Each structure stands twice: as C-alpha cells, then as structure tokens.
Structure 1
Amino acid sequence: MNRRASHVLASAFGLLALVPGCAPTRTDFPSLMPRAIEERSDAIAVVPPAPVAPDPALDRQISGYREELAQSDRSFDAVAARAERLASAAGAPGSESWIAAQVVLAELDTLRAPVVGIVSSLEALAIDRGVEGKPPYPALDAAIADARTRDAAQAARAAAIETRLGPA
C-alpha cells in the first residue's frame, strides 16, 4: 500500500472515531408511560335521579284507580269462571250450550273495557307530568305496570276460553 492510501485510510479511521463524539447526547426522549389523555375515562357519568317529592293529590288519584282496577278484576274473575264452566260443558258449535258460552264470553269483553280505560287514564297522568317537566313518579309507574299486567292477563284468559270453545 502506498503512503497516500495509508494516509487516507488513517484519516478515515480517525474520522470514524470522532463521529460518535459528534452525535448529540439527548436524554429527553419521550416517556413510554401512558399519557394523561390515555389515562382518562370516556365513561358517561351516571347521575342518580333526584328524589321525587310526594304528591298527595296524585297518590289519591292512583289509589282510586287501583281500587277501580281491583273491583274490575273481581267482576272479570267471576264472569270468567262462569265462562270457563260453560265452555267446558259446551256442545257442538251452534248448540244452545255453545251459544250460552259465547254470550258469557262477549260479556268478558265488556268487563275488560274498564281496565283498558284505567290503563289509558294512568298513562295520561304520566304524560301530563312529562309535559309539565316533572320527573317520573314511581307510584304512578308501578300502577301503570300493574294495570297493563292485569289487562294482558284478562286478555289471555278470555282468549283461552275462546280457543276452548272453538270456531263457529
């Protein structure tokens, strides 16, 4: 190797030795720890509802509707029991016993009307509260659910009796 080549090679090694020293020495690299934005929760906060103030006038109305509902239920149950007995004893469609059972079955539909009216009245009270900007009233909601349940039970019982009678 000639002198010039060895000089170039020595210079290159010398420069290479200086390169690591020329590099900036940073110690402020970003942390790998979670950032504040990554630690926050995106869950929606659930605020418990404010307690509803008692409403004695509404409670009296609800109580009255519940009494009407109970009376209607008793009347329906008595006629439904009679309809079930007649349906069990009914003869062929068109016979006297079958017609008697059909008449009592029609009476059941008439007896269901007050329950449907009570459901509507209770729902109207709830709607009026909402229109006035008042919160839901738990006693009213419970009365509505009870009235709907009774209405559904009466409808199912009447349908079962009708099914037992068979088509005309």
Structure 2
Amino acid sequence: MMKATMANSYEGTSLTRGDSKTLGLVISQDKMLGSLVESMTDRFPDASVGVLCATKLVSFTNWPESGDAAADFGDTELETLVDHFKPVLEASGIHVERIPDQWTVLKVLIYQEPQSLEKISWCHVNRSHQHSCPDLLALVDLVLSFPASTAKCERGCSTMKHR
C-alpha cells in the first residue's frame, strides 16, 4: 500500500508532481483500506487476539518440513487455542493440561509417517493416534468444525427477507 508522508513522497518519489489528483488518490486509498481493516477487526474480533490466526496449525500445508523448525512449530498457537477454548474443553471432559505434551507426541508421530505432509489428513491422524493424543485431537476436531465462512447463513437470511 502506498502511503503519503509529510513530504508527499513515497520512497523518494514525489506523489504530487504538480498534479493534486495523485495525492488525492493516495489519501482516498488510505481511507478505504483503513475502513476495510476496521471492518475486518469489528467482524472478526477473535483475530485480534490470535485465535483465528492460531488455527493455522490444523492445516498440514502450514507445517514446516521436518527439522529444527518442526520441533517448536505450533506451540504458541496451541497455547492460544487452549486458553481460548479451555472452558468448553473442560466442560467436555477434556484434560487440557495434557494437550501440550500430546502436541509434542503427535508432531513426532506425524513426522515419522512415511507419506509426505501434503498427503496426511486429520481423519487418518484421528484413526492412527486417537489412543495416544485424545485430548489434543478433541481440540483439533473443535477447530476443524469452524465454518469457513458465514456466506451460506447470510444467503439464507437474505432469501428470507425477499419473501
């Protein structure tokens, strides 16, 4: 995004060049993008505390290839999810204190799998490792149950308004 500075330039390039329309366009874009960010923050308040971002750990495409990065992958995100969903998990009989250790165990088990990360699914992981990581997999199931969007609900409400 191009931002106007006090000197009306961006990375050393003048934004006015004698034409006030250029600067006006930049200011309009800044206002529009600022409004967009504000709307997204209002619409997805959990994103500001990291819950939405933390759900990336359930997508194997976000997992690093085995190595040093894999050892600590997802630890912070897992802590965010456990903190956020702790009341729900405990009410369901999940032992939240066991989840971090089960996360470490599960990462080791997954990286020992003969197939690549792209070919692993959570259905396979649940079948294979339910006995060793039940509390963690309950959290993963909870995260995977989030709808990708509310578009279907919104279309239904819109349709009801038109009738």
Tell me the TM-score range normalised by the shorter chain: under 0.3
Structure 1 or 2: more helix by fraction: 1
What's the TM-score, normalizing by structure 2? 0.24
Larger RCO, structures 1/2 (Cα 8 Å, 6+ apart):
1
Question: Which of the two has higher C-alpha Rg?
Answer: 1
